[in-house]
Each structure stands twice: as C-alpha cells, then as structure tokens.
Amino acid sequence: MNMKTGESWIWWKHGVIYHIYPWSFQDSNGDGIGDIRGIISRLGYLKALGIDGIWISPMYKSPMVDFGYDVSNYREIDPVFGTMEDFLELIDKAHEQGIRVILDMILNHTSDQHPWFIESASSRDNPKRNWYIWKDGKKKERPPNNWKSPVGGNAWRYDATTGQHYLHSFFEEQPDLNWRDAELPGVFFDEMKFWLDLGVDGFRLDVINMIAKDKKFRDNPLVLGIPAFQKHLYTRNRKRSIAIAAMIRQLTDSYENRTTIGEIYAPPPGDAKTAARYLAKGKEGIHLAFDFSLIFSIWNAHSYFKCINTWYKNLPDGGWPCNVLSNHDLFRSIDRFPLRTNREEKAKVASTMLLTLKGTPFLYYGEEIGMHNTRIPKRQIRDPLGKRYWPVFTGRDKARTPMQWTKEPNAGFTTGIPWLPLNRDIRSRSVRQQEGDPASLLNHYRNLIKLRKTSEALQRGSWNPVTNGQQGILTYFRNTDDERILVILNFTGRYKSFSLHEHTYGKILFSTHRNTEEFMYFQNMQIGPYEATVCLVSE
Ligand code: NOJ
Ligand code: CA
C-alpha cells in the first residue's frame, strides 16, 4: 500500500513478470522437452530473482505445428508438458510463493485439428461454418482478395470439400476464427473463463490486433507495388479488435486481481500509438499492451529516449505502460546491440533502463544470465519459419534454446537429448556460475529488482527526463512526492560529462561503476563507459 495515495500494490503494475518458453525452461522427465513439473522445480529460483508473475507460452493440446500457437483443445494441457493435475499444482505452488500465473491465449486462430474447425470445414451449412472465415474465391480457386500472411505466401487456402477458401493469417494449419460472428466471442470467452475459474491470473493475448478483419474484405494496399509487401490496413487494428479487447477486460474484471497483456505487433520501428489504443481510457481497454519499439530500437541513447517518450506520451489517462526487450519471436536483445562488442556491459545498461522505467518490466527467460542467440544447424531447425526460409531467415529457434542452469553437458536442463541444441557457451554461462559472482549479470538483475521493490518512486513514480540522449547518455528522474530517484545511463564506450544544476548530491543506490551507499555530487560528473547508476537525490 502506498501510504500517501492509498493505492494498493498491484502485482501486474508494480511487480516484475518473467516470460517462460515452456519447451526450454526445465525438463523433468528426460524427454528433452521442458514441462510443468520442471517449472514447478524452478519456482524457488524465480522467487529468489524477485519475480511476481510468470507468463508461460502456450501449453494447451496442440499438434505443435507452431509450437503450441496452434491449439486443438483450449481446455487441455498437452501431454508433452504434463497433466492438468501438474498444472493445478503449478498454480498452487506458484501462488504459495507469491508468483502469479499468466497463460497465453490464442484468439486469432485455432489449429486445423481443433474439432470446431473440423466441423466448420465439413459443410457449408454446418452450424460452426461461420466461426471461421470462409469466402468464395475469385473464379473458384483464385483467392478472394490479395491478403498475404506475415509468415509468407497467401493468407487463403482453397478447400475442395466445400469449394471455398478459408483465411489463415499464419500457417495454413492455423485457420482464423471469425470474431465478427455473433456466437463465437461468447463461446471463446467460456474457454477463457475455464482457466480463470481454475485460478489463472491473466492472459497474454496473442496478436490481439489482428483478430478482426475488414468487413468488406478489401484488398490491402501494396508497398512499392510489390504483392508480397503490403500495408496491413484491412487485416490489423480494426475497431472490432479493440472492441473485443474491451470485452475481454470486462470478462477478466469480473474476477479479482486478474490481468491481460495484448500483443500489438507492429513491424520495425514499432508503433506505440497503436499499442496505446488498446489501453483505451482506464478500464475500457486491456490492462497492458506490448509496444515493440524498445525491442526494435537501435543501440543509441537518443533512439531509446524517443521510444520511451513516444510510448508514455500516447498512453491514455489511466493507461499503464509495460516494457520489454526480448521475446520468443525475435532475436535476444543482447545480440541485437550492434558490433557485438561490450555486449555484457550493454546488457547491464539496457536492463537498468528496463528495470527503472515507469511500467511493468517483462523479462524473457535467460535474459538475466545474458543467454545468446544460438546458431542452429539446418538439420536441427524446428521452427517452421526457419525451415521455410533457410538460409535467408533461419527462424526463431535461436532465441528458444534450453535454459542454462549449470555447466554440465545438458546445462541441468534435461537428462535426455534436448529438443534444440544448447548454446555452446554453457561452460562459461549458467545460473550456477553467475550466482556465485557478485559482478554477474544475474546478480545485477537480482539487485535491481530488489531495489525496484524497495522504491515507491521506481514502482509508481513519474518519469521525468533530464537529457534526451543526444549526447549518448540518458538521464531521468523517477519521482513521487517523497522520493526522487535519478537514473544515469551511458550508452557509449566513452567517458561523458554531466551536471545537474537543481540538485547537489545524492546517495548511490545501485551502480555498475561506483560503490553504493556513497554520495555522488552532481556537478561535472564523469560518467564511465557503459555506466549505469541509480541515485537517491537529496535536496
Ligand atoms: C505471435 C506469437 O508470439 C508467435 O510465436 C506465433 O507464431 C504467432 N503469434 C501466431 O500465433
Ligand atoms: Ca519433459
């Protein structure tokens, strides 16, 4: 509880959330694939890291064409991850440790093996026909319009049984649900209620900005006249998607203390303005939305400043930001910083920013030990995107390799053969090794999270920039009435001087370069290369 404002501590606003890719977190039965019992066994680790909630990528029954993002039964756990009993135990044990559990909810499409789709495809007059998007082609087998899938190729597939095309925004094994149907939303919300009733704390809403399509099925405009490149004008961010997001908010608000996080994907450089539209005003929108701008930012203080500033400026009244650097679809942030030099130092600067910004931080598993993208040999590629586009694009597996717990051959992840190869650096990069090293990235994360937990200003305070990063350093205040925190981040490998005129000194709470508890004087400061320092300002 904040004594001044009376606002209580809200886990999805003031806590830190950790994203688990279940295939790769911890295997418990030696089949080489991570599972629920594996996650249960690592709750202590998450607790020690200071995590308040986990978002787990999908674990529902699935043919696994897209590694669980193709669901064939929303009410069952896929046996590869364990049983429903295991899952219920996970919720209980996580809750005992004060860790909330967020599931991934895939609304845009199901698997083509989902009984709903099998029925829908069986005849034109099947009662579930309209639950999916079926259309006559232009001249029978020619697609109804020019819509392309972001995974490549046509977004329509002709089905000879009924002589119509169905829409699949992703792979053809992932037919799109029809959110304009009168019945479907209610049916789908029942699937969500099933998990809410079991005690799940919220949902990450997969591509929520794509779920509704243009009513008139108009052609998307082309970019540079090239059919493969199009502006997704009629396939993304339709008003209906935003309206459905608001309905989901109502649904989750009928339970206590739940949350929703929308994936509002936009291609580089990201689109904060659109992400903010899903937050609407206060409770008319979802709780949180991912803006991809920080993920796509180049390694430059000014560029990060612009992303952050734009994001906050676009937030509606009462809208709360969240921030993220990596996820399971894109390269790990540590390898996105260019030139591959000083990656560890840069990771410390970036994570200090993430954990001192206003908004809920989301960490991607392994980020806290600086796990790298892994080069996957062609024959071991699992991601259908990598298989399809190799060698031009080798897919998303590189950011999905097993968590590196120890330096043993399979890194303590499995006793069997891991489903994806481990990174070659396991001998020098693991949780066990970093736990014992006070200067490690893991301890850097732990200390920062601990600091965030003890500081009202870091959890709830306003964000007031001092510099806009143009000189290579980003500096900002996080303020409440009682606490004023100054964050100094040097994004360059050079010394930078910096002065703050309105305050004289402060106490160092956290620093990559200085001793904590000492005082820092704010005139003519020399900020070291890749220095990240957090100070409590004294008047
Ligand atoms: C976004 C998910 O993050 C990605 O992994 C998946 O392939 C697509 N949505 C389709 O569900
Ligand atoms: Ca397993």
pLDDT score recorded for residue 339: 72
CA of 314 to the centre of ligand 1 (A): 25
Q: Which residue type sits at 141?
A: E
| CB distance 207 to ligand 1 below 6 Å | yes
Closest residue to atom 8 of ligand 1, CA basis: 69
User: What residues contact residue 98 under an 8 Å CB cut-off, 6+ apart?
Assistant: 47, 52
| CB distance 206 to ligand 1 below 6 Å | yes
CA of 184 to the centre of ligand 2 (A): 34
HEC secondary structure over 50-64: CCCEEEECCCEECCC
Q: Ligand 1, residue 385: give the atom nearest the CA.
A: 7
Nearest ligand to the CA atom of 104: 1
CA of 105 to the centre of ligand 2 (A): 22
Nearest ligand to the CA atom of 41: 2
Answer whether 130's CB lies under 8 Å from 83's CB: no
| CB distance 345 to ligand 1 below 6 Å | no
CA of 411 to the centre of ligand 2 (A): 15
Helix, strand, coil % over all residues of the chain, rounded to 5: 30, 20, 50
Q: Ligand 1, residue 66: give the atom nearest the CA.
A: 7
Provide the residue ranges of all domains of the chain, joining segments of one domain with +: 115-167, 463-537
CA of 75 to the centre of ligand 1 (A): 19
Nearest ligand to the CA atom of 70: 1
Name the active-site residue from 52, 66, 201, 206. 206
The helix-helix angle for 441-454 and 343-356 (nearest 10°) equals: 10
Name the active-site residue from 176, 263, 335, 368. 263
Closest residue to atom 2 of ligand 1, CA basis: 206
CA of 414 to the centre of ligand 2 (A): 8
Distance from the Cα of residue 535 to its chain's centroid: 29
Closest residue to atom 10 of ligand 1, CA basis: 69
Q: Which three-class secondary structure state does DSSP give residue 230?
A: strand
Distance from the Cα of residue 363 to its chain's centroid: 8
- Rounded Cα distance between 68 and 419, Å, is 15
314: its two tokens = 């676009």
* Choices 3.40.50.360, 3.40.640.10, 3.90.400.10, 3.30.390.10: CATH for 115-167: 3.90.400.10
Annotation says 502 is catalytic: no
| CB distance 329 to ligand 1 below 6 Å | yes
Q: Which three-class secondary structure state does DSSP give residue 346?
A: helix
> Sheet harboring 532-538: ordered strands across?
462-465, 473-479, 484-490, 532-538, 505-511, 519-521
| CB distance 106 to ligand 1 below 6 Å | yes
183: its two tokens = 């019945």
HEC secondary structure over 349-404: HHHHHHHHCCCEEEEECCHHHCCCCCCCCHHHCCCHHHHHHCCCCCCCHHHCCCCC
Annotation says 27 is catalytic: no
pLDDT score recorded for residue 348: 98
CA of 197 to the centre of ligand 1 (A): 25
CB-CB neighbours of 407 under 10 Å? 16
Q: Ligand 1, residue 106: give the atom nearest the CA.
A: 11
Q: Is the peptide bond before 150 cis (omega within 30 degrees of 0)?
A: no
- Rounded Cα distance between 397 and 411, Å, is 17
Q: Ligand 1, residue 396: give the atom nearest the CA.
A: 5
The per-residue pLDDT string of the chain (539 residues; one tens digit each, 9 = 90 and over) reads 676 667 899 999 999 999 999 999 999 999 999 999 999 999 999 999 999 999 999 999 999 999 999 999 999 999 999 999 999 999 999 999 999 999 999 999 999 999 999 999 999 999 999 999 999 999 878 999 999 998 989 999 999 999 999 999 999 999 999 999 999 999 999 999 999 999 999 999 999 999 999 999 999 999 988 878 899 999 999 999 999 999 999 999 999 999 999 999 999 999 999 999 999 887 789 999 999 999 999 999 999 999 999 999 999 999 999 999 999 999 999 998 877 899 999 999 999 999 999 999 999 999 999 999 999 999 999 999 999 999 999 999 999 999 999 999 999 999 999 999 999 999 999 999 999 999 999 999 999 999 999 999 999 999 999 999 999 999 999 999 999 999 999 999 999 999 998 889 999 999 999 999 999 999 999 999 999 999 999 97
| CB distance 105 to ligand 1 below 6 Å | no
Q: Is 457 exposed, middle or buried (0-12, 13-18, 19+ CB in 10 A)?
A: buried
pLDDT score recorded for residue 4: 65
Give me the CATH topology for the region 463-537.
Answer: Immunoglobulin-like (2.60.40)
| CB distance 191 to ligand 1 below 6 Å | no
Closest to 249 measured CA to CA, from 257, 260, 240: 260
- Rounded Cα distance between 485 and 356, Å, is 9
pLDDT score recorded for residue 3: 62
| CB distance 286 to ligand 1 below 6 Å | no
pLDDT score recorded for residue 1: 67
Mutate to test the pocket of ligand 1, among 69, 171, 400 (most ligand atoms within 8 A of CB): 69
| CB distance 12 to ligand 1 below 6 Å | no
Closest residue to atom 4 of ligand 1, CA basis: 329
Strand 17-20 with 53-56, pairing: parallel
What are the φ/ψ torsions at residue 398 (nearest 5 degrees)?
-60, -25
Distance from the Cα of residue 188 to its chain's centroid: 23
CA of 267 to the centre of ligand 1 (A): 14
CA of 201 to the centre of ligand 1 (A): 21
Closest to 513 measured CA to CA, from 538, 481, 488: 488
Q: Ligand 1, residue 151: give the atom nearest the CA.
A: 7
HEC secondary structure over 401-423: CCCCCCCCCCCCCCCCCCCCCCC
DSSP letter (8 states) at residue 130: G
Mutate to test the pocket of ligand 1, among 328, 329, 383, 400 (most ligand atoms within 8 A of CB): 329
Distance from the Cα of residue 530 to its chain's centroid: 26
